[in-house]
Structure 1
Amino acid sequence: MYNILFYILCVLVSTGCITYLVLCIRFVYGFKHYKPVFSFKKRTVSVVIAARNEAKNLQDLLLCLLNQDYPSELFEVILADDDSEDETAEVANKYIEAGLNLHYLKITGRENVLSPKKKALEDAVYTAQGEIILSTDADCIVPTTWISSMVSLFTDDVSMVAGYSRTLLPDWKKASLVQKYEHLDYALSYIALAGCYTIGKSWACVGQNLAYRRSAFYDVGGFSKIKHLLSGDDVNLLQLMRNKGYKIIFNFSPSSFVYTQPIQSWKQLINKRSRWTSNMKYQLKFNPEFYFILFSLACLYWGGLIMLFFNYKLALFILAYRIIIENIIFNFPRSRFGITKEIMKFYPVWLIIQSFFLVFTMILGQFNIFVWHGKRPNNKRNKNANRNL
């Protein structure tokens, strides 16, 4: 029995190793040969923001939007207030008076829906007049070139543009351990995702920096097919559009990069990543290829840890193999994503934590053990509705 388990483990880990190697070769080739195509056509834009009790952070975001270099007559901002209990409305009125073309929507009835954020975003999109929908979160900070940079990639055949988001750490040395881990993990994950885009694979994105055609949103039925899922207003929407044949690309320009606020505790990070990984199980129907990639990498990560109980020398070899592959993948494009040599010195610490952290949060995510804006997933509803995806 012992030998059978060992051989099964070797097969699974080998699958992950081969997948890693193939992705490494394809990503390096993709980054070297990727050439973006730009459009100089000015399009109307609707920036949509869903916010709940984000009055403090919202002021910074609205100030950034007020100072965009994009023609003010060509964009509007729609703030969907998810029944906030703070001064969100007052902040919105302040910037309306300052001249920002902002439309304030008060969203109610969050207790009657599983995913209040999806409802807020959907109401905002249905109110929007722009050809392009540009979304971000209320706690983000966008550059003054954000709108113009994202719009510039909408050639006539492009329907969605995914962007880069990173945590805001003014002083790396003063950041806490969990904030350093989150920052580097964000960056390295994005490098992998961006590598996918260079070879024509749109597998994931985040709503903190995402743009898409309003017509495409309507065509896929908005969030109607994924409203039973508490999270995934970004990655699952991307999969709906991808399955419809829409072209999706990535914006590699630093003029489009967005900052988001760092978390303050491991508990917050565990909850956040468990929510993210909860969408993994739905990729089997949305995108089998992406699911296979995730499964293969999970075999490599989990298998490497389990191998310690069978053959520690082989486990160390697997670890060394992973380190070599990751350094090839990450070091080539890291300068594009603002990852300095000082930040990369944290890689060994990240590797140790990530090996266990990813496994832990994946397990929590598959059982929907997380909370988002006071809501917990309805596992029974998710199971029944998933059959209709």
Structure 2
Amino acid sequence: FNCNGSNLAYRRETFSEIGGYQQIKQVVTGDDTLLLQKIKQIGRWQIRFTTMPDSLVKSWPEETPRQVFNQRLRWGSGGLSYSPQALSFALAVFIFILLLFLSPFFWLAGSISMFWLLGFALKIIQEARVMAAGWRVFRLPTEWMSFSLLQLIHIPAILTFSIGGHLFGFKWKGQKFKRTRETASAQLKTETP
């Protein structure tokens, strides 16, 4: 479903068979995931997730808040180019997150019961399970305090960057990108300065 290009390996034969990045070269972000989806679509190749700690590729984070903001907008801009199955899943997750965000307001207005807390608890429990597994497999220190504090901004951040990535431009590698009417899918074109 998803992958990270900085920690992705594939056979040259596989890359050649699917035509490499030719069909997705116009996409500014998500080309790694789209490549993985093309490999899966062919069905001839196995896709495996490595859990060997020595296979972990570390990359440097962005240095400034503005760079982080632009990075997240770029990441949020790629969803519309995913396969129909991945897009359906992403849309379902987005709707779930949006409902979680709106639920406290509806509850305060007396429109719904506190049942929404169950959805929020399920979100946190599932994410905690994934994080705990990642920390264990890659022998990383557990960061429960950071995990807990980030829950306060996680839902607003998901909504901000997934919507903002499609509506607003962003800067990446010294260039400005903005969605145009002609590229209403997830293809972004460079703005002229």
CA shift, 1:255, in A, is 0.8
Counterpart among 137, 146, 151 of residue 351 in structure 1: 151
Counterpart among 160, 172, 183 of residue 372 in structure 1: 172
Summarize the Cα distance change of 1:238–1:328 in structure 2 as closer, same or farther, 3 Å threshold. closer
SS class of match (1:238): helix
Summarize the Cα distance change of 1:385–1:352 in structure 2 as closer, same or farther, 3 Å threshold. closer
Conserved 8 A contact 1:307-1:314: no
Matching residue's letter, 1:365: G
Matching residue's letter, 1:248: I
TM-score normalised over the length of structure 1: 0.43
**Which structure carries more relative contact order (alpha carbon 8 Å, separation 6+)?**
2
Summarize the Cα distance change of 1:237–1:375 in structure 2 as closer, same or farther, 3 Å threshold. farther
Map of 1:272 onto structure 2: 71
Partners of 1:258 and 1:329 in 2: CA distance = 19
Unaligned runs of 5+ in 2: 109-113, 188-193
Conserved 8 A contact 1:278-1:362: yes
Summarize the Cα distance change of 1:229–1:326 in structure 2 as closer, same or farther, 3 Å threshold. closer
CA shift, 1:333, in A, is 4.6
Q: Normalized per residue, which structure has more strand?
A: 1
Q: Normalized per residue, which structure has more helix?
A: 2
Counterpart among 211, 224, 229 of residue 9 in structure 2: 211
Map of 1:189 onto structure 2: none
Summarize the Cα distance change of 1:216–1:324 in structure 2 as closer, same or farther, 3 Å threshold. closer
Counterpart among 367, 371, 382 of residue 183 in structure 2: 382
Unaligned runs of 5+ in 1: 1-202
Map of 1:241 onto structure 2: 39
CA shift, 1:258, in A, is 1.1
* Residues matched between the structures, number: 180
> Percent of aligned positions with the same letter in both sequences?
27
TM-score normalised over the length of structure 2: 0.81
Q: CA RMSD in A?
A: 2.3
Q: How does 1:29-68 map to 2 (within 5 A)?
A: none
Conserved 8 A contact 1:271-1:370: yes
Conserved 8 A contact 1:228-1:382: no
Partners of 2:17 and 2:122 in 1: CA distance = 44
CA shift, 1:208, in A, is 0.9
Partners of 1:377 and 1:219 in 2: CA distance = 32
